[in-house]
Amino acid sequence: MEFCILGLHLLFLLTYIIGPNMAEQEVENLSGLSSNPDKNIFVIRENGTTCLMAEFSGRIIVPYEVPASNEVDWNLEDANIQLPRDTEIKGKCWNNESELHLTWSDKLCTLKLFFVKDGQDSTKSSLRGWKVNKIQFLYDLSDRTNFKNGARPGKHTASRHNLSLMVTPAGMSYECEAPERISLTSTDQKKTVVLFLSEVHIQPFDIKSDFVYSEEYRCLTDQRKQLEETLPLILGLTLGVAIVIILAVYHVHHKMTANQVQIPRDRSLYKHMG
């Protein structure tokens, strides 16, 4: 009897500890709301509240081997895989970690993004925020939709760990219109798989209003582009103001000197003065 009671206590304790982590969250694919056919919108909700939002255009370049014309050697081709709108979504939201899993092509392709809060133990508040610390892309070369001529079927994983991507201050969302290129190393003979993300807007933590991003933190590329676009305008306005000031000073100076008595330079004219 005591053994049964102890077992129930242990079961309750395990349920309490791992229960929240194993719970399934609501997921929604809202890509149909985007006017861009290549852009996807994903939402994960927990207990009726949005805990992760992400939207971006995704494209993946995967090198794979095809038979050469001599039927002896092998050539490399690149599969250009566009993230489709009918993507299946899964994900998890925790206090300090979040995940977004996207699956398509009859579950033969899966892209996983891992987010983590950064700098929580630091005394410098400026270091506190979140980032992408790991990316995985799982693919199967038997997928004839994306790997049409592939002759070496097999499951592979391309990944990068210990990343510091999309580093964003706490309580803010990350936004970047410019394309971002991320190289992943594949288990397929260490081939390099390249992930391109563009028109990115992501927030995996601290969403204050349902379906509403917090204040945007722009990526450095967008910041530089904005500066390049506004700098000529700023310089033009500055130059215009400087010209106006110079003309105003000249006008005032000319008016003041015009009212002064002119002293003749020819000394012979002094006798006519007075």
Q: Residue 158 sits in a domain of what CATH number?
A: 2.40.160.110
CA 170 to CA 205: how far, in whole Å?
Answer: 8
- Picking from 17-26, 76-85, 190-199, 238-247, which range would have the lowest pLDDT averaged per residue? 17-26
Three-state secondary structure call for residue 249 = helix
How far apart are alpha carbons 76 and 68 in whole angstroms? Answer: 9
Strands 192-203 and 180-186 turn out to be: antiparallel
| Structural domain containing residue 236 | 219-256
**Which pLDDT belongs to residue 174?**
97
Which tokens sit at 69?
A: 């014309």
Mean pLDDT of the region 134-155 = 89
Residue 2 lies inside a defined structural domain of this protein? no
Please tell me the distance from the alpha carbon of residue 201 to that of residue 204, in angstroms, as a whole number: 10
Residue 272 in domain: no
Within this chain, do residues 95 and 68 fall inside the same structural domain, yes or no? Answer: yes
- Average pLDDT for residues 50-64, to the nearest whole number? 96
CA–CA separation, 170 and 164 (whole Å): 15
Sorting pLDDT into bands at 50, 70 and 90, what band is 235?
A: low
Residues 197 and 116 in one domain: yes
pTM: 0.73
Pairing of strands 129-140, 165-169: antiparallel
Coil, strand or helix at 62: strand
Instruction: For the chain, give the mean pLDDT.
Output: 82
Q: pLDDT at residue 167 above 50?
A: yes
pLDDT at 265 > cutoff 80:
no
Cα gap 211→88, rounded to integer Å: 19
What's the CA gap between 129 and 114, in Å, rounded?
A: 14
Residue 34 is predicted with a pLDDT of 87
DSSP class of residue 33 equals G
Residue 139: the pLDDT is: 97
pLDDT above 90 covers what percent of the chain?
53
Clarify whether residues 23 and 116 are in a common domain. Answer: yes
Q: Which of these, 94, 97, 127, 102, lies nearest to 114 by C-alpha position?
A: 97
pLDDT tier at 16, thresholds 50, 70, 90:
very low
| 111, part of any domain | yes
pLDDT at 238: 66
Q: Give the rounded distance of the alpha carbon of 50 from its chain centre.
A: 19
Q: Tell me how far apart the 2 most distant CA atoms of the chain are, in Å.
A: 135
Is 171 in the same domain as 60?
A: yes
- In this prediction, residues 137-157 reach a mean pLDDT of 89
Q: Which residue has the higher pLDDT, 152 or 7?
A: 152
Q: What are the CA-CA distances from residue 180 to residues 32, 59, 199, 206, 220 (Å)?
A: 23, 10, 9, 24, 11
pLDDT of residue 39: 94
Cα–Cα nearest to 81, from 108, 53, 101, 100: 108
Q: Are residues 213 and 230 in the same domain?
A: no
What's the pLDDT band for 176 if we cut at 50, 70, 90?
Answer: very high
Task: DSSP letter for 151, please.
Answer: -
Same structural domain, 32 and 16? yes
How many helices (H) and strands (E) are present in the chain, helices listed first?
Answer: 2, 14
Q: Domain check: are 192 and 208 in the same one?
A: yes
Which band of pLDDT confidence, cut at 50, 70 and 90, is reported for residue 231? very low
